[in-house]
Structure 1
Amino acid sequence: MSYSRVIPIEFCHCDPAGIVFYPRYAEMVNHMVENFFIDEVGYSFARMMAEGFGMPTARLEVDFRKPSRLGDRLEWLLSVEHVGRSSARFLVRAEDRVEARSTVVWMDRGFTPAPWPGHIRPALEAHHA
């Protein structure tokens, strides 16, 4: 099962040539992961941080296939490619433009990797490709 969102390409995403400046795609990938947690897991990053937990990105791989321009509206799809004991890898695609893999690690209050909590793991597994 995939999670999808449309992200419009705005002026703040673009370089002077009017195409997406490549680091902005990393922000959009994180936008997808963060909103997946809100919409599908039911556990926002704000709540996560308020409760003393974290989920940093440990690895990010991005393939840039075609440029995106100011005014484009890209449909992004996220699926869970792998669920480990304390990590997960998301496959995130924006149409024919970008493909990324983002690996995150669940961190406990001591900032050490910990097993996925029982209220998160089932949602990750439900979206496992």
Structure 2
Amino acid sequence: MAFTFPQKVLFKHCDPAGIVFYPRYFEMLNDAVEAFFDAALGWPFEVIHAEAAVPTASMQVQFTAPSRHGDALVFEVAVQAVGRSSVTLRTQARCGADLRMAVDHVLVHVDRDGRPQPWPARVRGAMEGVMDGPE
């Protein structure tokens, strides 16, 4: 079950050619992940970052079609796997039925010193509850 996050492509996202400048996709991706942690898991970043963090450990990206100023994108965030301290997400950005970007990324729950920490039981359960496919 994917969490959806709408994002209109704004002028600030575009390069002089009028298409989304690829680093801006990563900003939009982070916004979608932050909204996912808040709305789907009930664990907002402002709470997490008071004592821990969830940095990205790896990311594999495919850009499949350009997006332009004014496009209405929808980011779909899906949990693929939950580890002791990591989570694998698959996020796709679409404009209507048109896939624009697909990302496989791993986030790790770490303490203030950057050491991996187990997910809180409630958060792990919420992740498993929205997981896409077999564990």
TM range (shorter): over 0.9
Query: Structure 1 residue 29: deviation in Å?
Result: 1.4
Cα offset for 1:111? 2.1
Query: 2:34, 2:72 → 1: CA distance?
Result: 19
* Correspondence list, 1:1-129, <5 A: 1-50=1-50, 52-95=51-94, 96-129=99-132
Gaps of 5+ in 2: none
TM-score (norm 2): 0.91
TM-score normalized with structure 1 length: 0.95
Which consecutive unaligned segments of at least 5 residues does structure 1 have?
none
Q: Distance in 1 between matches of 2:93 and 2:112?
A: 34
Number of equivalent positions:
128
Deviation sequence 1:85-120 (CA, Å, 0-9, x none)? 110011000121100112100012332001111121
Q: Which amino acid aligns with 2:57?
A: A
RMSD: 0.9
Separation in structure 2 between the aligned mates of residue 110 and residue 14 of structure 1, nearest angstrom: 36
The 4+ residue runs of structure 1 with deviation greater than 4 A are: none
CA drift of 1:67 comes to 0.1
